[in-house]
Amino acid sequence: MPDWIDIAIRAIIFAAVLFLITRLLGKKQISELNFFEYVSGITIGSIGAEISTGLERNIFHGIIAIGIFAVIPFVADFISLKSKRFRDFTEGKPTV
């Protein structure tokens, strides 16, 4: 199979995976994201781009990595609901 077809198929698969993960993570405006969620989103996009164009890499390893980086914000949100110290660490303290 030519490389360009493989890249096109991988890009379509990862666009669908990224769209699904974005829908699962919820709707937030950029101004409402905390730093932790912003970094997680950038990392998920970077993994998707790297696996889409990296033909020597296994596509399922990329899906697993994106899944892990999608679970991390859910776990961090759950822990931050239970622990004020963890919430202050991940979201920072507001300044007036």
Classify residue 56: in a domain, yes or no.
yes
Range of the structural domain that residue 34 is part of: 3-91
pLDDT tens track for 74-90: 888 889 889 989 888 87
pLDDT tens track for 28-68: 655 677 777 777 778 888 888 887 777 777 778 878 888 88
Other residues' Cβ atoms within 10 Å of the Cβ of residue 10: 19
Classify residue 65: in a domain, yes or no.
yes
Classify residue 32: in a domain, yes or no.
yes
pLDDT value of position 28? 62
Domain count for the chain, please give it. Answer: 1
Classify residue 8: in a domain, yes or no.
yes
Residues 56-89 as b/e (b if ≥16 CB within 10 A, e otherwise) read: eeebeebbebbeebbebbeebbeebeeeeeebee
Cα–Cα nearest to 51, from 41, 37, 65, 38: 65
* pLDDT (average), residues 17-31: 70
**Residue 59 token pair:** 């596509």
Classify residue 51: in a domain, yes or no.
yes
Give pTM, 2 decimals. 0.63
pLDDT value of position 82? 92
Residues 6+ apart with CB under 8 A from 63: 17
Classify residue 27: in a domain, yes or no.
yes
Classify residue 96: in a domain, yes or no.
no
Classify residue 49: in a domain, yes or no.
yes
